[in-house]
Chain A
Amino acid sequence: MLPKLDPLLHSELRLAVISILSGVESADFTFLRQQTGATAGNLSVQLEKLTAADYITVEKGFKGRKPCTTCRITPSGLEAFNAYIQALQAYLPGAQK
């Protein structure tokens, strides 16, 4: 039987965010927006969902005088991402043989 894909990660924008955060220590909101091409509103909503699931942490602060939102992946977020990739591989042609 094929493994179930994590519905929280199986969304284009949330998956892109987690993919970026899995490779860096932290990334700010502006960078995530630039890389994903998402609107600020949509990105905020998806970040909230990931935060609620404890996949990422969001820290609001200031860089100089400018407000800055910094996002980090949590250990459980990283675990979920790795599990998601493993599950995806099972869906690829030839994986069930």
Chain B
Amino acid sequence: MTPQESLRLITETMNNSRKAILQGSANHFLLWGILLTALSLVIYFLWHGTGNPAWNFLWFAMPVIGYPLALLLRKREASIPKSEIGKLSGSVWTAFGAFAICLSIIAVSLVPMNVTLLIVVLLGFAECISGAILKNWPIIVAGFILGVGGAAAAMLLRSTEAQLLLFTLGGVLLAAIGVIVKMQYR
């Protein structure tokens, strides 16, 4: 091997390895994006149809459905190596999940608050950080728009049902990130 060939081999191997790792994270964006979109639409239509806000308790089904599916996905990707990118990204979304669940429980049982606003900001923030970890500008911008724009919309939209559609938008954005990352690192 010439020195040039060696350097090319190192660069190509590292890039391919990084692509494989990022492809794995794209699957998780897709999973949570589709789940968030589907669940927000189901809750919206049930709430809109019946006028009963109790349908919001269905949000607690999100971790119940999502985490086993995410574990299943991880089992399927068993050979994808452990990396700092995966670990950091996982920590960000675990923290988001913990915040979202705790805030929802507090809002329901202790202190009433605009949970939509809080969660949409957290969702945008988590997306922004994920974009920074993946070094992907479209994700950073999408997260920023979702967080800041979503917070403004949550304050402006009077109907709490309509506010739910912000989560649909968030879900679509998450799934879109999955598709972008998959296409970018194919």
Contact = CB atoms under 8 A, between A and B. Distances in A.
26 contacts: A5-B6, A12-B1, A15-B9, A15-B10, A16-B13, A20-B14, A23-B83, A24-B17, A24-B21, A25-B82, A25-B83, A25-B84, A25-B87, A26-B82, A27-B17, A28-B78, A28-B79, A30-B78, A31-B80, A31-B81, A35-B17, A36-B13, A68-B78, A88-B3, A88-B7, A92-B7
Nearest to B83: A24
Contacts of A26: 81-82
A63 interface: yes
Contact of A28 (B1, B20, B81): B81
Interface of B: 1, 3-4, 6-7, 9-10, 13-14, 16-18, 20-21, 75, 78-84, 87
A64 interface: yes
A15 B2 CA distance: 13
A88 B6 contact: yes
A68 B75 CA distance: 13
**Interface class of chain B by DSSP:** helix
Given A24-B17, A64-B75, A91 B3 contact: yes
Given A16-B13, A25-B83, A25-B84, A10 B6 contact: yes
Contacts of B82: 24-27
Interface of A: 5, 10-12, 15-16, 19-20, 22-28, 30-31, 34-36, 63-64, 66, 68, 85, 88, 91-92
Nearest to A30: B79
Given A31-B79, A31-B80, A63-B78, A85 B10 contact: yes
Given A25-B84, A25-B87, A28-B79, 17 more contacts: A12-B1, A15-B1, A15-B9, A15-B13, A16-B9, A20-B81, A23-B18, A24-B82, A25-B82, A27-B81, A30-B78, A31-B81, A34-B20, A35-B13, A64-B75, A88-B7, A91-B3
A12 B16 CA distance: 15
Contacts of B14: 19-20, 22-23
Nearest to A90: B3
Contacts of B75: 64
Given A26-B81, A28-B81, A92-B4, A19 B10 contact: yes
Contacts of A12: 1, 9
Contacts of B81: 20, 24-28, 31
